[in-house]
Amino acid sequence: MRLLAALGVSFVALAGAGAGGPEVDISQAESAQVEPAIAIDPSNPDVLVAGSNSFQEGSMRVYGSTDGGETWTSGFLYPAPATFVTSCASDPGVAIDADGRQYYSFVRTTPCRTGRPRLYVASRAGPTAPWGAPMLVAPIPKTAILDDKPAIAVDASPISPRRNRVYVAWSRLSRRTTFAIRLSWSDDGGKRWAPPVPVSRTGDEESYASIGISRRGTVYVAWDDASTYSLKIAASTDGGAHFGPEHKAASFSIVPIPHCGSGTVIAAQLLSCVKANPIVSVDRSGGPGAGRVYVSYARTAVTGVQGIFVTVLDSRLKVIGGSATSPAPVPVAPVPGPERTRPERFWPASAVDSSDGALWVCFYDTTGDPEQRRVHYVCTISRDGGKTWAKPVRAASVASDETQQGADARQYGDYEGLAVAKGVAHPIWTDSRDLATLGEEIYTTRLVESDFR
């Protein structure tokens, strides 16, 4: 595999200033970019890696920074085919281990229209090293059809017995047309992968897997169980070899939109469903919340998106304060007033700062637009385990509108991203401010705790 410079790398300059640091358009690509992911090097917070879904180009876009997000390189993860009909890819995820090795997970289909989507992971030794060839995680057996929506995470804890083990979890569709969550792991830099193990035990429409890892190496996987209109979570204490029983992290009112599962349709994203997008993160700090498990999500109902919420659990997955079902779930930055006039908030991303245990959540917000079509990507922070939240600040200083003419059919995609370390957050999102010239672009910025008054 060639260096990114040989694949058309460019250094991306700073854009306008938002609430925190300057906003940076890290993609600057001619085709639409959606579904960004971002990760921070646990041994050097100035090193970041990010990726986005560049479906029309047939490859994955990859971005790198070695100066804390001020400037970025941009290029392909692997050479793009002559046309995406030959091969297409989606669902990027990124991670960095304790030694600086970078990982990139995605699903690739060859040929694009008739092939079977399979899960791959590529890796490189560091931010300037060439990417290795993508490795297939697990062949699809005769009993299954495809893989979908993977998540990736690395155990970078210095006290974990499985330091630097990299995990991927994803949804696999069986020939009985049921989706289930599977997990695999690698101890040799992503060259070889363990046989997939089952994570979910019940339900038949499981998707949106997310992985969180504790300081002692416990692996938590959360997912959306659309067959029961709920979010589930399970844990493994033996490095992903076995998972314990499912626990309910949240319940939804039934949303009778067949193609949306447990999601819904809103004015800001009419062409594709907005879903819960559960993200699990673990407090690996030495603070009072050490070991706590957080599951953030968008709460959906027949009336639309009710807002962003967090379920707080202890290390054994017992809900703290009864926040899963009773009493009401814990709202993130609640908005007063009747439900019909509240702004829509969707596609949340969350992360815990392992240096101090602060919980960060970012999401799209239609506040300020009575038609609820123009959105800003905003962030908030909780310093007390999700009990109280700072007033959200805008990471994006310019609104996006995916209902305008010329917007890509994927609109904002299916998720956005966030990475946090040592008091600095790096939200990353799909932005349409450049729709007339470039299309949907990937933006990021820097936020610090002092940005929240």
For 277-297, the pLDDT digits (tens) are 999 999 999 999 999 999 999
Dump pLDDT digits (tens) for 27-58: 999 889 999 999 999 999 999 999 999 988 88
Question: Fold for domain 34-46+140-451?
Answer: Neuraminidase (2.120.10)
Whole-angstrom Cα distance, residue 164 to residue 156?
5
What digits encode the pLDDT tens for the residues 300-326? 876 777 789 999 999 999 999 766 665
pLDDT exceeds cutoff 70 at 3: no
Cβ atoms of residues 450 and 381 within 8 Å = no
What are the structural domain ranges in the chain?
34-46+140-451
User: 3-state class of 328 per DSSP?
Assistant: coil
Q: With bands split at pLDDT 50, 70 and 90, how would you rate the model's confidence at 172? A: very high
Nearest to residue 376, comparing CAs of 351, 352, 405, 346? 346
Structure token pair of residue 347: 């596609």
Q: What is the mean pLDDT of residues 181-202?
A: 97
DSSP code, position 339: G
Give percent of the chain with pLDDT exceeding 70: 91
More confident of the two residues 220 and 264: 220
Given a contact cutoff of 8 angstroms between Cβ atoms, the answer to whether 254 and 302 are in contact is yes
Sign of the torsion formed by the C-alpha atoms of 28, 81, 35 and 9: negative
Judge residue 9's burial from the number of C-beta atoms within 10 Å of its C-beta, 0-12 exposed, 13-18 middle, 19 or more buried: middle
Q: What is the DSSP letter of 391?
A: P
CA–CA dist 308, 274 (Å, integer): 12
CA distances from 332 to 100, 291, 399 (A): 33, 20, 21
pTM of the prediction?
0.94
| Amino acid in position 171 | S
Asked if 166 and 184 touch (Cβ cutoff 8 Å), the reply is no
Residue pair 399/412 in contact by the 8 Å Cβ criterion: no
- Position 96, amino acid: I
Between 144-153, 187-196, 257-266, 278-287, the lowest mean confidence (pLDDT) is in 257-266
Q: Is pLDDT at 336 greater than 80 in this prediction?
A: no
For residue 211, what are the CA distances in angstroms to 5, 406, 426? 32, 35, 19
More confident residue, 40 or 9: 40
Tell the residue number behind the tokens 């007063």, with chain if given: 336
- The residue type of 104 is Y
What backbone phi and psi angles, to 5 degrees, belong to 111?
-70, 165
Residue 7: predicted pLDDT: 40
pLDDT of residue 55: 86
Q: Say whether pLDDT at 14 is over 50.
A: no
Least confident of 75-79, 221-225, 245-249, 299-303: 299-303
Radius of gyration of the chain (CA): 20
pLDDT digits (tens, 9 = 90+) for 428-438: 999 999 998 99
Q: How far apart are CA 353 and CA 415, in angstroms?
A: 20
Average pLDDT, rounded, for the chain:
91
CB 308 within 8 A of CB 331: yes
- Joined together, the tokens standing for residue 251 give 């319940």
Which pLDDT belongs to residue 94?
Answer: 98
Question: Who has greater pLDDT, 55 or 16?
Answer: 55
Token pair for residue 321? 């304060």
CB atoms inside a 10 Å sphere around CB 69: 27
- Tens of pLDDT, residue by residue over 104-121, are 999 999 999 899 999 999
Structure confidence at residue 151 (pLDDT): 98
At 346-385, the pLDDT tens digits run 999 999 999 999 999 999 999 999 999 999 999 999 999 9
Q: How confident is the model at residue 242 (pLDDT cuts 50, 70, 90)?
A: very high
Q: How confident is the model at residue 340 (pLDDT cuts 50, 70, 90)?
A: low
Amino acid at position 158, single letter: P
In whole angstroms, give the CA distance from residue 352 to residue 409.
32
Query: Is the CB of residue 285 less than 8 Å from the CB of residue 353?
Result: yes
Does pLDDT of 405 surpass 60? yes
Categorize the per-residue pLDDT at 345 as very low, low, confident or very high, splitting at 50, 70 and 90: very high
- Which among 37, 12, 11 has a CA at the least distance from the CA of 22? 12
Nearest Cα neighbor of 416 from 154, 62, 52, 20 is 52
Q: How confident is the model at residue 298 (pLDDT cuts 50, 70, 90)?
A: very high
ω into 79 cis (within 30 of 0): no
- pLDDT in the model for residue 447: 97
Q: What is the DSSP letter of 321?
A: G
